[in-house]
Chain A
Amino acid sequence: MTIDVSPAGMRQAYASQVMRRYVVISGVTALLLISFFLDVSTGPGHYPLSTVLDVFADPMSHGVRLKVIVWDYRLPVAVTAVLVGALLAVAGAQMQTILNNPLAEPFTLGVSAAASFGASLAIVLGFSVVPAVGGLLVTTNAFFFALLTCGFILLATRLKGVGSETMILFGIAIFFTFSALLALMQYMASEDQIARIVFWMMGSLSRASWEKIALGTLLLSVAIPFSLLRTWPMTALRMGEATAESLGVDVGRLRVEMLICISLLAATAVSFVGTVGFIGLVGPHIARLLVGEDQRFFVPLSALVGALVLSLTSLISKTITPGIIYPIGIITSLIGVPVFISIILSTRRERLS
């Protein structure tokens, strides 16, 4: 292949690269829509997709029964899958950029483990860190501990001499601490409570509700413009801290601002569905291989891929054994990890272009 080395040729090459990225983003969006509608139309009762789409457009078109099934059961689950997938993947993508470590994500940094401990605290002791939350006790506790862990991470990054490897070790330390505390809770719990804890930890979309969806959407609608405003400094950060600083980026401040934003996203996602590992890792990883690390494309595509993976997971969890919905945390690990490894191995040598 000959390379056009004139300035016009370089511009042209860049323009077509950008065009390819838009094509990739549109393609993933289309797949996500397909997955979403399949997810809504799949479930214990068999209804044709066209019927589901009818109910979608006009809730009462096929009677109350279908309205309840589609609008009160299936849609919240399908929307939550998309939303949480996007939240986890965006949180993972940004953590990886800020900590300069491709292994950083809510799960590896111990945020999920902390949330599980918070949930178990509510389930076993009925203890609430925020008074008077009633039915949202488990979620609120999970959220609080997830946020607390993010605060730890934030503090750790402010310490002098804490490199990106140290951060992951720090995350592992948090992970083990909360795992031990969680084990303690399970030891103290009754059989019924253990079952609830285990179910919470395995990750489930069945806790979906329109209130949670509204909250998640609100957060995402704040977080997206917030990070879009910082795309160029964040891209510069990928060049290394020294280069970013020399280009005028206030790296310390950028880290704090982004970590606060990410903490909210991660804590929300984890407290909604429990432990769903791997989405925060695989979403950004696939996005990176497809469009590189210009954050204008990388972050939105990470969100889309994360949403797609969790939406597909939701679909799979219902179709393996009709009538049974498997916990999504198990599916993401069992099916996702081999896919993930094969992606790493097959595309490692292929870079951009």
Chain B
Amino acid sequence: MTLSIEHLAAGYGNRLVLSDISIPTIKDGAFVGLIGPNASGKSTLFKTLAGLIPARGGTIHLKDEDITHMRRRDRSKRVGYMPQAFGCNALLTVFESVLLALKQTTGWRVGSDNLDQVSDTLAALGLAQLSNRGIGDLSGGQAQMVAVAQTLVRAPEVILLDEPTSALDLHHQLSIMTSIKTEVRRHQPVVIAALHDLNLAAKFCDRLILLRDGKILADGTPETILAMSEIGETYKVETDLERTKRGVFYVDARLSA
């Protein structure tokens, strides 16, 4: 067993956002899509898993180890989290910004192995051209790719990506999802990505978890989840699940009459 969550609760101040979240074992090398409307608790779930906000109840197990109350610094070595917000005006190059992500967990001195890790990650994500560019000069999509690189370079066991494709055009959406999928095959981490695009989720994920109002509504293969009537109810639309000639599922959605 790899990552499993039982009866997890979390929130901010007096407000409980997540209550009784249980996610049965997610195996190594799984690519899980977390779907649900805005304010359904996706980001809160990620922050709780990453240790940025404390769990108010329940447990998180990673490889048979209870990490629910593990210190944030230690946990950040094992659980990589890419937050939604991005964009800054720092005078740092793309290479440096990925290097600094790596150096949070690997000691003070920059070794040649560190430089290898950074340049390999940049190459794998197709960011080599931008390596020496200032991060303040990047487009929104490029900045998002860099944020993904910052997460992947640390080779964590669990990778949490909060809307990795939200600022990207079609080409870059497919390219980043493919890169993540390749990473999953190479290093076998657990990947959970919060996605708004159900078709992208259908195309790349092995498993989908539907979140609404801080509760898990459904958990299963894309085929079963996307065919459920709950999808339409949750997003307040009408949906049909279709299948293309290539055998890929897609959700045909329209506003309810």
Contacts and interface: CB of A to CB of B under 8 A. Distances in A.
Interface of A: 3, 5-11, 13-15, 17, 228-229, 231-233, 235-236, 238-240, 242-243, 245-250, 288-289, 292-294, 351-353
A345 B105 CA distance: 38
A175 B125 CA distance: 49
Interface stretch (B2-10, B81-89, B192-200, B216-224): B81-89
Contact of B129 (A3, A249, A289, A292): A3
A232 B100 contact: yes
A7 B99 CA distance: 14
Interface in B138-154: 147, 150-151
Contacts of A11: 112, 115-116, 119
6 contacts: A13-B95, A14-B131, A243-B88, A246-B81, A246-B82, A292-B96
B150 A243 contact: yes
| Size category of the binding interface on chain B | 35 or more
B136 interface: yes
Contact of B150 (A247, A249, A293, A352): A247
B123 A5 contact: yes
Contacts of B116: 7, 11
B25 interface: no
A248 B95 CA distance: 19
A235 B100 contact: yes
Contacts, number: 131
B137 A351 contact: yes
A233 to B, nearest CB: 7
Contact of B128 (A6, A232, A293): A6
Contacts of B155: none
Interface of chain A, helix or strand or loop or mixed?
A: helix
A19 B123 CA distance: 23
A235 B52 CA distance: 19
A245 B52 contact: yes
A239 B129 CA distance: 21
B129 A250 contact: no
B229 interface: no
B134 A233 contact: no
Nearest to B101: A247
Contacts of A8: 119
Given A5-B129, A232-B108, A247-B101, A239 B90 contact: yes
B92 A293 contact: yes
B242 interface: no
Nearest to B84: A242
A292 B93 contact: yes
A97 to B, nearest CB: 9
B44 interface: no
A292 B88 contact: no
B120 interface: yes
A250 B73 contact: yes
A240 B88 contact: yes
B69 interface: no
Contacts of A245: 52, 83
